[in-house]
Amino acid sequence: MKHDPKSPDTSVLPGGPRHVAIIMDGNGRWATQRGRPRLFGHHAGAKRVREVVEACPDFGVEYLTIFAFSTENWKRTQVEVAGLMSLFRRYITKETRSLSEFGVRVRFIGDRVRLDDKLIKMMNDLEQATAHNTRVHLTIALNYGGRDEVARATKRLARDVAEGRLDPDKVDEETLPRYLDTYVLPDPDLVIRTSGEARISNFLLWQSAYAEYEFIDTLWPDFRKDEFGRLCAAYGGRDRRFGAVKT
């Protein structure tokens, strides 16, 4: 997926979302419907990631954040957890080159402490290898939970107060986001959840306070570029008031 920096994208949607966050749900059901093990669905889901990343410039999406593994997903069977970890390692090995060539900057959010050393090294290497890219900012949430992120941020903030680096009277709405894993990212404009569930499952809790939501029935392995485009276009027609009244 090579990118020629001299050829600008021509099909960008006016007023489309700059940052889209996706809860990629439904891999397990997709596999079960086919009489296959759940991991088969996760592998099919991983293939959809590339298609959606590559579609971002066409719809004016600069930031894409995807929920790959939650702090709650450790409760799944050992076979599924190990299979997902192995899939993440394979994904990084297989996709590093094409992500780089397409101009994707990859970041990971979530608590790395519980992940294995080999995977952590691969994540760090991928972040470094793509650090100069600016075309699409892909953030992969891995061992991520919104409450866990806020708790970790609060711990760091409290430490700064205790050690005299931060005045508690100056803590306001702008302060906490600087301690979140997402501190370099804009807030999501549009959050999409596939598979018919209408809940946010601890994803980007602070950051999505004013996001628009789309809950769609499609199972993640069936999610395609055209549907992504329709959702981005529909977002362009929405009236975001951020709590204010239109004058």
Given its phi and psi angles, is residue 103 left (phi above 0), alpha (psi -120 to 50 degrees) or beta?
Answer: left
Complex with ligand FPP: residue 24 or 55, whichever CB lies closer = 24
- 42 in contact with ligand FPP (CB under 6 A): yes
The catalytically annotated residue of 58, 73, 148, 187 is 73
Q: Which of residues 11-30 bind ligand FPP (CB under 6 A)?
A: 24-29
133 is catalytic: no
x/- track of binding to ligand FPP for residues 136-175 (CB under 6 A)? ----x-----------------------------------
172 is catalytic: no
State in Å, rounded, how far the first CA of the chain is from the last one: 45
**Is the separation of the CB atoms in 87 and 48 below 8 Å?**
no
Angle at 160 between CA 151 and CA 166, to 5 degrees: 115
- Give the sheet arrangement for strand 190-193, strand by strand: 104-109, 136-144, 63-70, 19-23, 190-193, 212-215
- 108 in contact with ligand FPP (CB under 6 A): no
Nearest distance from residue 60's CB to ligand FPP, in Å?
22
- 83 in contact with ligand FPP (CB under 6 A): no
Q: Kindly tell me which residue out of 46, 56, 99, 192 binds ligand FPP, with binding defined by CB under 6 A.
A: 46
What six digits make up the tokens of 153?
């941020």
**Is the separation of the CB atoms in 99 and 2 below 8 Å?**
no
Nearest distance from residue 175's CB to ligand FPP, in Å?
31
Q: Kindly tell me which residue out of 91, 102, 179, 228 binds ligand FPP, with binding defined by CB under 6 A.
A: 91
Complex with ligand FPP: residue 27 or 207, whichever CB lies closer = 27
**Is the separation of the CB atoms in 239 and 209 below 8 Å?**
no
* CA 176/CA 26 separation, integer angstroms: 33
Q: How many residues bind ligand FPP (CB under 6 A)?
A: 20
| Residues 6 or more apart whose Cβ sits within 8 Å of residue 146 | 202, 203, 204, 205, 206
Q: Kindly tell me which residue out of 55, 68, 99, 185 binds ligand FPP, with binding defined by CB under 6 A.
A: 68
**Is the separation of the CB atoms in 14 and 210 below 8 Å?**
no
Residues within the interface to ligand FPP (CB under 6 A): 24-29, 38, 42, 45-46, 49, 66, 68, 73, 87-88, 91, 140, 195, 220
Residues with a catalytic annotation lie at: 25, 73
